[in-house]
Amino acid sequence: MFMPAINLNNKTVLVTGAVGFIGSNLVIELLKSFNPIKIVGIDNMNDYYDVSLKEYRLNEIEKLSNSESKNSWHFIKGNIADKDLIEKSFTDYNFDVVVNLAAQAGVRYSITNPDAYIESNLIGFYNILEACRNHPVEHLVYASSSSVYGTNKKIPYSTDDKVDNPVSLYAATKKSNELMAHAYSKLYNIPSTGLRFFTVYGPAGRPDMAYFGFTNQLLNGEKIKIFNYGNCKRDFTYIDDIVEGVKRVMQRPPEKSMGEDGLPLPPYAVYNIGNSSPENLLYFVETLQKELVFAGVLPEDYDFEAHKELVPMQPGDVPITYADTSALEKEFDFKPATPLQVGLRKFATWYKDFYKEKVI
């Protein structure tokens, strides 16, 4: 049974990337689960993808927060790379728990726009760490990524594996986050936990992810490109499972302790959050097609075969992702388990509702 060490009731929580895919769902879950709770969200609302999706998520948060009279939600539009903004936010709100989900996402985008990754993922995270040093918090939780495993041959991926060979700048920045957090945990006794997320999907997700991009392309009559000729596997993890994992981790920071040298041992941990059930891309596409027809996004007579193209592997991609979640299960009594069909059906149903005019 999971036993929290931190009771989030009456706590003040910072969520960066608060109107991103994971961030917005986490804020909604926290508002539903704890009462009273004070949540401050920071997001720069950039146009890496359709801003209307971010506005939709922000609106969903605000509708819920307005109905929860004892809870508090405050949104700050800003960039975590702005050190003065971060310092002021920590000074004004005196955060108890910080969840850093703000980051420039995407593997392929990091090849063409590397500056965005250095600014957000390195400088931005450094600002968060400095603020946690100067304004001590009970727990810092931050997003890492399955991409840190690179082309590791051993599967499933374990947090005990060496991750010294990133194949993209995005992966390198996420590995850097883990190293930076470890150093700050050691030097300043900051309890920190990194979470390696595996291929997150679901309603109101990121349009640059395959399931969302494929849907847009199929609806527009375009061909979808299936990389590595379909010989890739991904550990697709439904958003609700990711959020449940983050919520549990928030409530149990690594314990502080002293080493034999009289100095603090770093209160530092890293966990995988994945479905532990990698699916072949061709099966994934087939399932997505069925659910898009079921939801009425595409007609039953849609010629899917004419809209598929098998292409070589792209730079920065890996053939398989597969999470070993045994540590998460042991310490937090939780294992993601949403079947792919269930998750894609929820996405397709949401898509039909959100893009009514486009679909009809």
Q: Looking at the predicted structure, is the pLDDT value of residue 359 above 80?
A: no
Report the C-alpha gap between 322 and 141 in whole angstroms: 22
Q: Looking at the predicted structure, is the pLDDT value of residue 175 above 60?
A: yes
Q: Looking at the predicted structure, is the pLDDT value of residue 8 above 70?
A: yes
The CA dihedral of 219, 220, 222, 227, to the nearest 10 degrees, is -50
Question: Going edge to edge, which strands form the sheet with 139-145?
Answer: 72-77, 38-43, 12-16, 97-100, 139-145, 192-197, 268-273
List, for residues 99-150, the tens digit of each pLDDT value. 999 999 988 889 899 999 999 999 999 999 999 999 999 999 999 999 999 9
Annotated active-site positions, please? 170
CA dihedral sign, ordered 45, 48, 51, 55: negative
Q: What is the mean pLDDT of residues 179-206?
A: 97
Give the domain ranges of the chain.
12-201+237-277+321-337
**Which of 207-211, 218-222, 355-359 is least confident?**
355-359
Query: What does pTM read for this prediction?
Result: 0.96
Instruction: Check if the beta carbon of residue 6 is closer than 8 Å to that of residue 97.
Output: yes
Report the C-alpha gap between 121 and 110 in whole angstroms: 11
Is CATH 3.20.20.70 the right assignment for the domain spanning 12-201+237-277+321-337?
Answer: no
Q: Looking at the predicted structure, is the pLDDT value of residue 357 above 80?
A: no
Per-residue confidence (pLDDT) for residue 82, from 0 to 100? 98
Per-residue confidence (pLDDT) for residue 216, from 0 to 100? 96
List, for residues 46-99, the tens digit of each pLDDT value. 999 999 999 999 999 999 999 877 899 999 999 999 999 999 999 999 999 999
Query: Pick the residue with more confidence: 108 or 170?
Result: 170
State the chain's mean pLDDT as an integer: 95
**Which of 258-262, 290-294, 343-347 is least confident?**
258-262
List, for residues 272-299, the tens digit of each pLDDT value. 999 999 999 999 999 999 999 999 999 9
Each residue of 216-251: b (16+ CB within 10 Å) or e?
eebbeeeebebbbeeebbbbbbbbbbbbbbbbbbbb
Per-residue confidence (pLDDT) for residue 360, from 0 to 100? 56
Is cis: bond before 36, omega within 30 of 0? yes
